[in-house]
Structure 1
Amino acid sequence: MSIRPGVFLPLPHSIRVRVTLTVAAVSVLVAAVIATGLCLLIRHRIESEVFKETRRVATEWIGLMESGQIPPPSPTARVPLVQLVDSRGRVTMAGPMAGDRPLSTVRPTEENRFQDVTECPESERCVMLTAGRVPSLQAWELWRGEPHFVYAGTDQPPALRGHRLEFLVGSGGALLAALWTWTTWRAAGRILRPINAIRQRMSEITANDLSLRVPQPSGRDEIAQLARAANQTLGRLEAAVTRQREFAAVVSHELKSPLTGLRTGLEEALLYPETEARQAIAKSLPAADRMQQIIDELLAFARLRNTPCSSEPVDLGALVRDEAAARTTGVPVHARTEPDVRVLGNRVQLASIVTNLLVNAQRHATGQVDVSAERAGDQALVVVLDDGDGVDEEDRERIFEPFTRLEAGRRLDPGGSGLGLALCRAIAVAHEGSLCVEESPRGARFVLRLPLLTG
């Protein structure tokens, strides 16, 4: 048997089958309970109406029996069978349709003078009747105390004959259960159809093509939310993979230059044996140092992303003063700090942010670098300001991307890797803060924001 692609075949372990089977079992149970209760209610209602009428007819005839005379029976359309039977079971008086055989052998007592019974003779239809005993006083006056009995009855209604009522009500219950089951099957299929489409689309997505998205149904139900969440996850995954590929390409490019220089120096030493080994090694060391610098910064960048940092209370004011005092060469650095600017973080990593920002500011400044640490609401602010040319607005975000180096940076620091500012921002984000370049009347103004330590 061939199966067309995209056709959903329900399996025994599928949600649709399990839900349908569960509802079918529950619906059969509920239908059985309803059918049983309905049968008992209908049967009781019909029997009550019939016995009420037969008892009325029997009671009225007994009440008409007076001393010395017995009126003829008065059958009705609903109660056509009326008899008077003596204690030996002989019919002494009967209606035209009652016949000459007793309708029943039931003999009510003086304590319980009326009994409702259903008689079903062999090969004959059942009769529902009321057996009534003539009071002893009337029996004494009429028959010298011999007990006599009145039977008033009628043929059993067709609805109560055999199992017709049970069959009809059971058939209705079965149809109701089948309708519930069919409705559940259709509803479950309609609900699960978008999930099946999502599953099929997810199976088509591979690492080589993350641009596909799952079908997103309209509305705000759980399935629509699932599809939106899946598409958002796929979007983040595609962006992460794209960044990773771009990062790998940039790393390869950045490592290619020092590796080429190192290889060139080694090949030159092999081609020209007269070249001294120490001279060849000395010429290759700068390329090796640059490769080591790039690799160290890459390891720090990856470790920061994948490993949580240990935290401790850090006084940013004291840290900024220490780092500013350590900058004894180059453009002078002026520090201004407020007391008790405390944050929760890794002291070494936060110090590396301040150091990188100060080194970068000194590289681009012409006469002075200002650094400050202060409180601003529930945040701690570290501001590094230089008096250089500043950063163009369109480049203020780009400089935080890995391996991004502007023309001024390449000119002032030819050996840089372009990972310093990217690493600084990654550390700030890991500390639930931010690092950005803001407007300033002169130079570049780098602002680090971190949550203040409270309590």
Structure 2
Amino acid sequence: MFRPRSIRTRYTMMATALSLVFLTTIGVSVDLTTRYRIEAHAFEETKDVASQWSAAVRNGKVPHTLPTMTRVDLIQIVDANGHVLQASKQAWNRPPISRVRPPADDRFQDLTSCEPGRDCVLLWAIRVTPAEDSPVVYAGLPEPFLLATHWLELGLALIALPILGFVAWATWALVGRTLRPVETIRARMSEITGTDVSLRVPLPPGRDEIAMLARTANQTLDRLEIAVKQQRRFASDASHELRTPIAGLRVALEDAIAHPEDVDAQETLRTALSTTNRLEAIVGDLLVLARLRASDPEPPEPIDLAALAKEASTGPIDTVPVHVSATGDVRVSGSRIQLMRVMDNLLNNARRHADSSVEVTVESENGQAVLSVTDDGAGIAPQDRERVFGRFTRLDEARRRDPGGTGLGLAICREIVEAHGGTLRVEDSPRGARFVLRLRAMADNPRSRSRP
């Protein structure tokens, strides 16, 4: 089945076809109505004339040549044997207009008579009396021009064709004008490549579907550009972070092979093992970040945030103690495994930077579950509070306390929290650093306390 690829062509063909059906229906209706009106008017005229001469025959006052006062000029009075008794001037030199004799029980009949070599005649036949030998009066006129020819249909077709052409042109122009912004959007989208996603599609005026499509396309391109920039920055940072330990490991191993007598083999192996552990930690954190962005979210489950914090706070005896205090029953919905990883990362980070203790508080505030982790260490300068969540970002204090760190722990925490619809920030604290996690609390919490 033929189907044009162009929407413009399809809509033009569809509109033209529908218009053709509509105009054909209207044309047929006008044609039939016009023909009926002309025919009915002609029969009405012939009936009046035939009735007049039928009455004259009954009264015995009929001249030899019948006069004509209207356009009905074919008048004949024919006896029972088919002989013309009287006729109008135009009907004397022709045989009876019709061979049809109305029966006695149906004396009035309208007829259309078409004889070979002559024009068709619309006539009215009246049997003068029911008697067997009653004459018949025929009054007729030549079939009107519009009924005898197809000029009426031709005229209607000539009227319909320009209308049909106008509909096709108007549809083609309107659909083309409507789709012009789509073509502009398509052309601009074809210019966008993976190396340059800064281009945006032009926004047409108004708030119709095409304008909404353009806005949605630009919003998608905005997100794509952000994702591409993050990917490039991530690849750059990852390659930098991986290059340094790999280069150090290579130098140490090459030096051990080139100068075995000057190198402590055990120390070289311990250094290589330490570097390998750091590489393993970096690769592991990178895989976690990749899974967070690529995998489908796990089915949520209700989680008691205070119980989760207490579970994560248990650790070796020689580590900095963690004190957990909770106000009420604070529950959230999410992935227990992922939120436990957030808790572990925050507590391990706090232990590394604390001088003597870590405080964890869990409470409900304005419909949100709020968990804060506070250490009594040196704290984080205000200008660095957002930087610490960047990938591979490690402040000087972090490098001093944890030389083997990857700089991805807090970035992973924020990724997980944002995937749960929450926030993770560093906020003011009278001592040390205070990380505050906010998630939407479950609606069935028995108590909720608001703070100013």
TM-score normalised according to structure 1 size: 0.87
Change (3 A) 1:84 1:394: farther
Which stretch shifts more, 119-128 or 201-210?
119-128
Alignment pair present for 1:172 and 2:166: no
- 1:251 corresponds to which of 238, 255, 263: 238
Which SS does the other structure have where 2:76 is aligned? Answer: strand
Give the whole-Å Cα distance in 2 for the aligned partners of 1:204 and 1:217: 18
Corresponding residue number in structure 1 for 2:98: 104
Corresponding residue number in structure 1 for 2:229: 242
Shift of 1:420: 0.8
Give the whole-Å Cα distance in 2 for the aligned partners of 1:387 and 1:157: 113
Paired residues for 1:127-138 under 5 Å: 127-136=121-130
Corresponding residue number in structure 2 for 1:122: 116
Give the whole-Å Cα distance in 2 for the aligned partners of 1:416 and 1:76: 121
Corresponding residue number in structure 2 for 1:448: 437
- 1:349 corresponds to which of 334, 338, 342: 338
Alignment pair present for 1:78 and 2:67: no
Which SS does the other structure have where 1:124 is aligned? Answer: coil
What is the aligned residue count? Answer: 438
Give the whole-Å Cα distance in 2 for the aligned partners of 1:412 and 1:74: 133
Shift of 1:423: 0.6
Q: Is the 8 A contact 2:353 2:378 kept in 1?
A: yes
Give the whole-Å Cα distance in 2 for the aligned partners of 1:133 and 1:399: 116
Alignment pair present for 1:232 and 2:192: no
Give the whole-Å Cα distance in 1 for the aligned partners of 2:169 and 2:52: 56
Q: Which amino acid letter does the alignment assign opposite residue 419 of structure 2?
A: A
Alignment pair present for 1:93 and 2:74: no
Q: Is the 8 A contact 1:312 1:344 kept in 2?
A: yes
Q: Is the 8 A contact 2:67 2:89 kept in 1?
A: no
Give the whole-Å Cα distance in 2 for the aligned partners of 1:448 and 1:240: 24
Which SS does the other structure have where 1:110 is aligned? Answer: coil
- 2:403 corresponds to which of 411, 414, 438: 414
Q: Is the 8 A contact 1:321 1:337 kept in 2?
A: no
Alignment pair present for 1:272 and 2:259: yes
Shift of 1:51: 1.0
Give the whole-Å Cα distance in 2 for the aligned partners of 1:389 and 1:82: 128
Which stretch shifts more, 107-116 or 376-385?
376-385
Change (3 A) 1:393 1:149: farther
Give the whole-Å Cα distance in 1 for the aligned partners of 2:177 and 2:202: 15
Q: Which amino acid letter does the alignment assign opposite residue 117 of structure 2?
A: S
Corresponding residue number in structure 2 for 1:295: 283
Q: Is the 8 A contact 1:434 1:450 kept in 2?
A: yes
Percentage identity across aligned positions?
A: 47
Shift of 1:387: 4.1
Give the whole-Å Cα distance in 2 for the aligned partners of 1:446 and 1:45: 93
Q: Which amino acid letter does the alignment assign opposite residue 280 of structure 2?
A: Q
Give the whole-Å Cα distance in 1 for the aligned partners of 2:15 and 2:389: 59
Which SS does the other structure have where 2:109 is aligned? Answer: strand
Unaligned segments of structure 2, at least 5 residues:
445-452
Q: Is the 8 A contact 1:385 1:444 kept in 2?
A: yes
Deviations 1:79-102 (A, max 9, x none): 233222222222222233333423
Shift of 1:358: 2.2
Corresponding residue number in structure 2 for 1:5: none
Give the whole-Å Cα distance in 1 for the aligned partners of 2:13 and 2:413: 59
RMSD: 2.7
Paired residues for 1:6-155 under 5 Å: 12-70=4-62, 73=66, 75-101=68-94, 102-136=96-130, 146-155=133-142
Give the whole-Å Cα distance in 1 for the aligned partners of 2:247 and 2:129: 130
Q: Is the 8 A contact 1:34 1:173 kept in 2?
A: no
Give the whole-Å Cα distance in 1 for the aligned partners of 2:379 and 2:400: 15
Give the whole-Å Cα distance in 1 for the aligned partners of 2:99 and 2:162: 43
Which SS does the other structure have where 1:97 is aligned? Answer: helix
Unaligned segments of structure 1, at least 5 residues:
1-10
Which stretch shifts more, 324-333 or 83-92?
324-333
Change (3 A) 1:438 1:92: farther
Shift of 1:332: 4.0
Give the whole-Å Cα distance in 2 for the aligned partners of 1:58 and 1:396: 112
